Structure 1
Amino acid sequence: MKTLILVRHAKSDWQDVTLEDFDRPLNARGKTDAPVMAERLRKRGIVPDLFISSPAKRARKTADIFAETYDVDKKDILFEKDLYLAPPYVFTEVIGRFKDEGNIAVIFSHNPGITDFANTLTNARIDDMPTCAIFAVEADTESWAAFDTAAKRFLFCDYPKKPQD
């Protein structure tokens, strides 16, 4: 079995209008939400083997915060330039290149592509992944290359403003 965790980057800062989109940092809420969501994922007993992120600043920082929660060295985060503003088919291509030794992968990326991709995986639908949302699925395969065609099961969707039990 392979488990895929999709994480939309945390809330970004729009104050400096001179910054390129790629270079926007997290804002205060993003810096607060990311560790909370990383801890929620950890409390579910999910321990990712692979951390893969868009290289955009806001996605990188979100990935860094999740890595810190899991005591993963930031140098072990893989950056895939294709995940920056990626359409759904790019997620499939990137996942197909993962090493099979890892069984739980977390991808940090952007809307609208991450929401569109999440909606291709199972019958579970989400209108719009809020910032720092987590969408998780499990695939009946031992190979990431076969992830696309494998039977999948929706596990959960969580986001910062979702009421907790």
Structure 2
Amino acid sequence: MKTLLLIRHAKSSWNDPDVDDFDRPLNKRGKLNAPEMAHRLANRGITPELLIASPAKRTKSTARLMAKEWHYDKDAILLEEELYLCYASTFLKVITKIDDDIDTVALFAHNPGITDFANYVTQEIRIDNIPTSGVFAVQANIQSWKDFDRARKSFLFFDYPKQEVV
């Protein structure tokens, strides 16, 4: 069984309009929400074995803040250039390269691609938007990540900072 966590980067700062999109940092709320969401995942008994992130500053920072909460080495986060503002189809390219010994993976990326991909992977639920720091989780009953696209995926949960935890 493989578990995939699709995580949108935390809230970024728009304070400096001259900062390039790729270099935008997290704002105060983003720096608080990312560890909170990592904590919520840990409370569900979910700790990813591999973190893969877009190299954009806000996405990399989100992954690092969550990694700290999970006691995951921030230097072990895999940065994938392809995940920066990618289309939904790009996620599959990244997923098929994951080592089959890894069962739980967190992919950190951007909208609209991450929401489009979440809607692609499961027929059970449709969402309009993965908000910042949002987590969309699915499982596939497979042994190899290469089989992820063809496998039937089961929706696990969708969580985000402003959602009340039940």
Q: Determine the structure 2 residue equivalent to 1:140.
A: 141
SS of match in other structure, 2:148: helix
Q: TM-score, normalised by structure 2?
A: 0.98
Q: Determine the structure 2 residue equivalent to 1:92.
A: 92
Task: Provide the C-alpha distance between the structure 2 equivalents of 1:9 and 1:73, rounded to a whole number of angstroms.
Answer: 18
Q: TM-score, normalised by structure 1?
A: 0.99
Task: Provide the C-alpha distance between the structure 1 equivalents of 2:145 and 2:23, rounded to a whole number of angstroms.
Answer: 30
Q: Determine the structure 1 residue equivalent to 2:54.
A: 54
Q: Determine the structure 2 residue equivalent to 1:163.
A: 164
Task: Provide the C-alpha distance between the structure 2 equivalents of 1:72 and 1:161, rounded to a whole number of angstroms.
Answer: 25
Runs of 4+ in 1 over 2 A off after TM superposition: none
SS of match in other structure, 1:3: strand
Task: Provide the C-alpha distance between the structure 1 equivalents of 2:61 and 2:92, rounded to a whole number of angstroms.
Answer: 23
Consecutive unaligned residues in structure 2, runs of 5 or more: none
Q: What pairs up with 1:74-89 in 2 under 5 angstroms?
A: 74-89=74-89
Deviations 1:119-149 (A, max 9, x none): 0011211101110000000011010111111
SS of match in other structure, 1:156: strand
Q: Which amino acid aligns with 1:127?
A: D
Deviations 1:17-63 (A, max 9, x none): 11100000000110111111110011000121110000000000000
Q: Determine the structure 1 residue equivalent to 2:131.
A: 130
Q: Determine the structure 2 residue equivalent to 1:110.
A: 110
Task: Provide the C-alpha distance between the structure 1 equivalents of 2:15 and 2:77, rounded to a whole number of angstroms.
Answer: 28
How many residue pairs end up in the alignment?
165
